[in-house]
Amino acid sequence: MGESITEGDLVAIPLNGGDAYAVGVVARRASSGLLLAYFSGKKFSGVPTVTAANFDPEESVWITRVGDLGLIEGTWKPIGSLPRWDRRQWPVPIFGRFEELSGRYFRSKYDDELAYKGQALSTEEVVRQLPEDGLAGAEFAELRLQRLLAAEPIQAV
């Protein structure tokens, strides 16, 4: 199931055990199965159509590297391809992170295969504006989206 997903595909992610669904765009799919996903701020009562699920990168509430276990197990539902997909509009961003041990802030860079390419010292102000560096598992992503979208109204499908 997960093998058919490619860049530009929309995916429905179950929230609250399937009571609602979030939507993500697969912006990159590494050969390892790792994904770069941009997640929408919309919440749906079921698996939405491509038209309903369509969103722009600026509307994302979360951008992260995530594993594809939800796709493999079939809990994350492929919706279809984003109309007019252009990977340049959905880039691999520079991520930011705080290192608690040293108290330092870093910008992290990844390539299009989502391989780590290095880091540079940064400031708190800069890092707060960047997507958080990390790797989410499917279940963590579902819980994080559930929390991020908790106050959003559920849109009928």
Residue 2 has pLDDT above 60, yes or no: no
Residue 3 has pLDDT above 70, yes or no: no
* Structural contact between residues 40 and 61, judged by C-beta atoms closer than 8 angstroms: yes
Instruction: Tell me the C-alpha distance between 111 and 14, whole Å.
Output: 29
Decide: helix, strand or coil at residue 136: strand
- Per-residue pLDDT reduced to its tens digit, 56-93: 999 999 999 999 999 999 999 999 999 899 999 999 99
Question: Residue 1 — very low, low, confident or very high, per pLDDT cuts 50/70/90?
Answer: very low
